[in-house]
A and B are shown apart, each in its own frame.
Chain A
Amino acid sequence: MKIIASYSIKGGVGKTAASVNLAHAAAKAGNRTLLVDLDPQGASSFYFRIGGSKKDRGHFFSPKKKRLLKNVKGSNYKRLDILPANLSFRNFDIMLNSMHKSKKRLKEVLLHLEDDYDLIILDCPPNMTLLAENIFIAADIIVVPVIPTTLSERTYAQLLDFFSAKGYKRKKLYPFFSMAQSDNKLHIDTIKSMDKNYARFMKSIINFSLEIERMGVHREPVLAYASKKSSVQAYRSLFNEIIVALNKK
């Protein structure tokens, strides 16, 4: 079982779109996949037409596997399950703070699912709290959407600094360009310079596309309803790149 996190300090950069479509691509490729919606806003659950989990609030970190699986819902796609978001996730940090070994808690919980899934994809909330540190430890790979602008470049640099300062493995970070505009000179220049200055940038670029924006209307992964569009296929090639990277680990 491998764990992929989709993470960014900034919001609105295409994190959830990546999680949802990577999960879809993973399941389609034959992997038993669980998408864990850690974002209290529950956007990825929404995309799969699943409401927030009502019962068992706050038991996410329960050491009991059964309790954890009770909240899992199948999606409309074979091999793809969702652990829906829950507004009480806001309290994650409070919960984690009260727990011993609190930075490893998420990893321990997910390891219970080793026999049930080949891949776990974490859709993460945009912040740098204790939950984020749990994610950094749990994930084998952290994909980071970066909009090719100067501001985003600075945010990514901050993330790298944070990893160095806290002693997390920077090699886990795999940034990719998200919401890029091929006719925007600033975007083109930023892509060129960041590609040169930062290691491990994915080759696949997710361009800004109306199809992707419309996911909220369709309530489906864009790969499911517009899989032939090139802007959409980039998710599939991104997934393939991730698999190659995972196999090297």
Chain B
Amino acid sequence: MNQVITNSLRYILPGNMQRADIITALRSHFSIEERDKSTDSISLIDSFAWGLYEKGFIAFRYSNNNIKIWHADELFDADQALDLYGNNSPARFWWDFEDTPERTLLEKSLGLRSLLSLYEGVLAVEDFDLQDASGKTQVFLQFISFYSAASTDKPLLLQVKITPVTGYAREYEQAAELLENAGGFKPRLNPADSLLGAIGITPAPYTVKPDLAIDPLMPARSAANSIVSQMITKQRLTEEGIIQDIDTEYLHHFRVALRMTRAVIAQLKEVYPEQDVLSLKQRFGDLARETNHLRDLDVFILDKPRYLSLLPDSLSKGLLPMFDDFETDREKEVQRIGKWLSSSAYKKEIDELEALFKNGYPAGETAWSEKPSIELAISKIAKRYNKIQKSALKITDDTPDEAIHSIRIDCKKLRYLLYFFGSLFNKKELNQAGKQLKRLQDRLGIFNDLTVQGAYLETYLDEIEHNEKKDIGLIAALGGLIATLYRMQKTERDSCISELHVFSAEKNRHLFTHAFAARGTDQ
């Protein structure tokens, strides 16, 4: 990065001003030479979750399928652009780009998300040199105009930037003064936000986690309703992306949102009438189950490189027909799910459920429905934590796998409670407790994944065993893979057990009981 020239100044010209006004003003002191000029059709890109923007970056796709990424403060500064070169056309995921150090930034910002085109525009950059009579450049000047692709008559944003030349500080100050006197003003926003404002795009970062501030005294049912309402909204935001099959994260988040909704209903069941809880569980559960198969396929296909790497080269080729099967299956499932999400049956069902919770769930009071939410939170978190604690202490090397899986499920329930009610507790303590829980969950998660994957592959093996034509290579590879996963699962089990001992240690117990003790109301 260039460190010599860091103190450029940017001005925005008001709508009634043009480049010519500025040039006229500067001519009183400088002779002006045009050096360079470029015009490009570009499109603003980011993921559905605005992953780049969230990390302080803004990116554009150029007509050659390459993209340029800028830090928000350095937008359109040619020296500061990070260039990424698309291998596939159109390059939508981070892995579609050439493997360069810059790609890591994309990987970290996008994860599994696809890039989307958010705005089509035209960028014109004109470079001028402000010189003295002998032709020595004393200040660099740049006009940056951004137009809508639909109309290039008048720029939506016109910026002028001056950059000093070493040894010509006085001239630089003079140019700045001339620009300000002519009407250029220093923007209050960074260049990226100035541009987004000018083109009328408001970044709407998406995260599936609940982000609610619940009042400690809010009645428990109202609190539960607001969580469910938010989760249904988040679920519905993913529908279009699933239908268009933009990336696998839409479906993943659709399912996470549903899982959170179901967790509210199952875990806070006392706030709703007993007879309703069963049917609500059933209805939301049906929605989730519809997507089980597609998600399984997504997970396997995303993990393809890892599976292949687990086997020696001679065997791993054998797996390819299985992945071909999965891909074909996936195509069909995507079609089916797309149709289902667009169906009036789905729409009617989700509209009905959404309305129910948005309208305050009109039903008779229950023992818990009107109590302060803080009381419900404390009681639920304590109960769940104690259950985990008790089971963890009982774990030995002889404990059956099922017991470990059941602790994992309790951990997940506890995690969701922390999501729902996090705003009621001390943030620092919440984060500490959350971190300990996450550590344990990660370990248990790996153990569970290995178990589930092994079982899935065994089912697949059962299926192909009945095929008339036996693919020996595939069967051998599957056998090898199942055995490998089994061995990994055994090792992982030991790690889980030691992690459970860490989690249930005295220090952690103190952390949890203190963080979620009954003292939330006075905060």
0/1 string, A67-97, CB within 8 A of B gives 1: 0000011111011010000000000000000
B136 contacts the other chain (Cβ, under 8 Å)?
A: yes
Contacts of A81 in B (CB 8 A): 4, 166-167
B346 contacts the other chain (Cβ, under 8 Å)?
A: no
* A76 CB → nearest B CB, Å: 4
The answer, among A74, A78, A116, for a CB contact under 8 Å with B168, is: A74
User: Assuming A49-B136, A219-B135, is B2 touching A74 (CB within 8 A)?
Assistant: no
* A10 CB → nearest B CB, Å: 31
In angstroms, Cα B4 to Cα A50, docked, is 19
Residue of A72, A78, A79, A115 most packed against chain B (CB within 10 A): A78
Whether the Cβ atoms of A49 and B135 lie closer than 8 Å is yes
0/1 string, A109-123, CB within 8 A of B gives 1: 000000111000000
Kindly report which residue of chain B lies nearest to residue A115, judged by CB atoms.
B3
The answer, among B2, B4, B137, for a CB contact under 8 Å with A76, is: B137
How many A-B residue pairs have C-beta atoms within 8 angstroms? Tell me: 45
B468 contacts the other chain (Cβ, under 8 Å)?
A: no
A107 contacts the other chain (Cβ, under 8 Å)?
A: no
Contacts of B166 in A (CB 8 A): 72-74, 81
Residue of B2, B129, B136, B140 most packed against chain A (CB within 10 A): B136
Total B residues in contact with A, Cβ cutoff 8 Å = 18
Contacts of B79 in A (CB 8 A): 30, 78-79
Whether the Cβ atoms of B3 and A32 lie closer than 8 Å is yes
Whether the Cβ atoms of A78 and B135 lie closer than 8 Å is no
User: Assuming A73-B167, A74-B166, is B2 touching A50 (CB within 8 A)?
Assistant: no
0/1 string, B152-179, CB within 8 A of A gives 1: 0000000000011111100000000000
Contacts of B5 in A (CB 8 A): 78-79
Whether the Cβ atoms of B167 and A79 lie closer than 8 Å is no
In angstroms, Cα B165 to Cα A115, docked, is 18
User: Assuming A73-B166, A73-B167, A74-B165, is B136 touching A79 (CB within 8 A)?
Assistant: no
* Chain B stretch 116-162: residues in CB contact (< 8 A) with chain A: 129, 131, 134-137, 140
Whether the Cβ atoms of A32 and B2 lie closer than 8 Å is yes
User: Assuming A49-B135, A219-B135, is B3 touching A74 (CB within 8 A)?
Assistant: no
User: Assuming A78-B140, A79-B2, A81-B4, is B167 touching A72 (CB within 8 A)?
Assistant: yes
* A200 CB → nearest B CB, Å: 31
Contacts of A49 in B (CB 8 A): 134-136
Whether the Cβ atoms of A74 and B167 lie closer than 8 Å is yes
Contacts of A78 in B (CB 8 A): 2, 5, 79, 140, 163
Contacts of A72 in B (CB 8 A): 166-167
Contacts of A74 in B (CB 8 A): 137, 164-168
Kindly report which residue of chain A lies nearest to residue B164, judged by CB atoms.
A74
Which of B's residues lie within 8 Å of A, judged by CB? 2-5, 79, 129, 131, 134-137, 140, 163-168
Which of A's residues lie within 8 Å of B, judged by CB? 30, 32, 49-50, 72-76, 78-79, 81, 115-117, 219
